[in-house]
């Protein structure tokens, strides 16, 4: 197996990261955080067209992307039937003939992500697989329901079988600079998760500045977040490349300081295969190959899988469009 194929090989890593224990809130570190907005935006602007992916490796990147998808449905009209269909897709994300042509077996998405009420249906549909159920929680998406109910909601979803909990932070703590309140909230949310992994949704589109994004990222990691996630998918602006650069660099700084690897989850509006490849390439550049595994990287996405499946079909039939060749560099 050559290095690229090995890096991109689908499947779970041999070792799964231990949970992030967090650390005491270091206010000096939080206050010192900088984010040079124009430099970050300049760098982000170069990313989509810059990465050249050899044709032979395109399918490997796309298969890797699938293993990192939190396949999501978060709609008011969700039903158990829709969730069962979603879980069937998570178990077999790509048509059997395409997988056979690629010589791939056992491919699944990273997780299925649903509202609390849909957790039992998802757990039942995924029984016997290694695909975890993630539940959005704490009054998702705004996070403005009574505090004790937000904490209780986490416990309910864990009891129903969710192995991952995507909490939403209180944006006002960031906007008012109340880092202690954000830390305490995140700490309590994490404790309520028990053994379940916790992803902190920052709702970056509502945090005002990239500096706030950097500071909120650090505070949530200090309080024990196992993942930091950009968005609920319901904000006006969801995952972006500048925000991703800032969050990945915060993850890198936290790792350098503590030795713990925190995962990254861009979410909201990521629906094109070429965008998925851009994000994966950015993770590789900023954090390294270890983060290209589903225990440290996820896409929160409801419609990305469909486009990836179409591109894989083109790959196996040799029907590359001029647009795809152009987009892939
Ligand atoms: O966390 C996941 C997002 O809500 C999904 O957003 P999307 O529907 O724009 O892919």
Q: What tokens appear for 56 in the block?
A: 């032979």
pTM above threshold 0.80: yes
With cut-offs at 50, 70 and 90, classify the pLDDT of residue 15: low
Q: Closest ligand 1 atom to the C-alpha of 229? A: 1
75 pocket-lining for ligand 1 (C-beta < 6 Å):
no
Q: Is 214 in the pocket of ligand 1 (CB under 6 A)?
A: no
266 CB under 6 A from ligand 1? no
Residue 271 CA, closest ligand 1 atom number: 10
Distance CA 183, CA 117 (A): 28
- 273-286 and 37-50 are packed helices; what angle lies between their axes, rounded to 10 degrees? 120
With a 6 Å cutoff on the Cβ, whether 303 touches ligand 1 is yes
ipTM of the complex: 0.97
Q: Does residue 267 line the site of ligand 1, with CB under 6 A?
A: yes
What is the mean predicted confidence (pLDDT) over 303-326? 79
DSSP H or E segment with residue 56: helix 55-67
Residue ranges of domains in the chain: 20-327
pLDDT band at 47 (very low <50, low <70, confident <90, very high): confident
Residue 145 token pair:
């329901």
C-alpha 271 – ligand 1 centre gap (Å): 9
Find, among 230, 261, 231, 138, the residue nearest to 189 by Cα.
138
Residue 32 alpha carbon to ligand 1 centre in Å: 32
pLDDT in the model for residue 317? 86
Helix (H, G, I), strand (E, B) or coil at 211: helix
Spell out where 76-153 has E strands. Answer: 111-114, 133-137
pLDDT in tens, 162-185: 999 999 999 999 999 999 999 999
**What CATH number has the domain spanning 20-327?**
3.20.20.70
**CA 270 to ligand 1 centroid distance, Å:** 7
230 lines ligand 1 (CB under 6 A): no
Burial of 258 (0-12, 13-18, 19+ CB in 10 A): middle
- Cβ proximity of 120 and 161 under 8 Å: yes
Report CA Rg, the chain: 19
Cis, peptide link before residue 141, omega less than 30° from 0: yes
Which tens digits make up the pLDDT trace of 113-143?
999 999 999 999 999 999 999 999 999 999 9
Atom of ligand 1 nearest to the CA of 201: 1
Catalytic residue numbers, as ranges: 166, 229, 265
The residue whose CB lies within 8 Å of the most ligand 1 atoms, and thus the one to mutate among 115, 297, 300, is 300
Encode pLDDT of 197-248 as tens digits: 999 999 999 999 999 999 999 999 999 999 999 999 999 999 999 999 999 9
φ and ψ of 25, to 5 deg: -70, 120
Q: Which two tokens stand for residue 298?
A: 């996820």
């Amino acid at each position: 197996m050559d290095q690229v194929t090995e890096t991109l090989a689908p499947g779970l890593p041999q070792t799964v990261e231990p949970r992030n224990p967090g650390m005491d809130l270091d206010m000096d570190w939080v206050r010192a955080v900088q984010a040079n907005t124009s430099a970050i935006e300049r760098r982000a602007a170069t990313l989509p067209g810059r990465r050249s992916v050899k044709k032979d490796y395109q399918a490997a990147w796309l298969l890797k992307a699938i293993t990192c998808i939190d396949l999501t449905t978060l709609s008011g009209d969700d039903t158990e039937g829709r969730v069962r269909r979603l879980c069937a897709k998570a178990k077999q994300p790509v048509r059997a003939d395409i997988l056979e042509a690629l010589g791939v077996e056992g491919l699944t998405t990273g997780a299925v992500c649903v509202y609390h009420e849909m957790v039992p249906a998802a757990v039942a549909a995924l029984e016997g697989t290694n695909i975890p159920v993630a539940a959005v929680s704490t009054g998702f998406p705004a996070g403005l329901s009574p505090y004790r109910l937000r904490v209780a909601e986490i416990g309910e979803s864990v009891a129903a079988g969710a192995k991952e909990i995507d909490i939403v932070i209180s944006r006002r703590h960031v906007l008012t600079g109340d880092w202690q309140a954000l830390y305490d909230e995140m700490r309590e949310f994490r404790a309520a998760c028990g053994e379940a992994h916790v992803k902190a949704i920052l709702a970056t589109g509502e945090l005002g500045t990239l500096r706030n994004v950097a500071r909120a990222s650090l505070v949530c990691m200090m309080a024990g977040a196992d993942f930091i996630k950009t968005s609920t998918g319901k904000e006006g602006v969801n995952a972006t490349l500048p925000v991703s650069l800032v969050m990945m660099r915060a993850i890198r700084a936290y790792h350098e300081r503590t030795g713990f690897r925190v995962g990254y989850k861009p979410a909201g509006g990521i629906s094109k295969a070429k965008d998925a490849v851009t994000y994966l390439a950015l993770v590789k550049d900023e954090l390294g190959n270890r983060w290209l595994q589903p225990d440290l990287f996820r896409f929160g996405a409801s419609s990305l899988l469909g486009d990836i499946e179409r591109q894989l079909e083109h790959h196996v039939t040799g029907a590359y469009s001029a647009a795809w060749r152009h987009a892939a560099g």
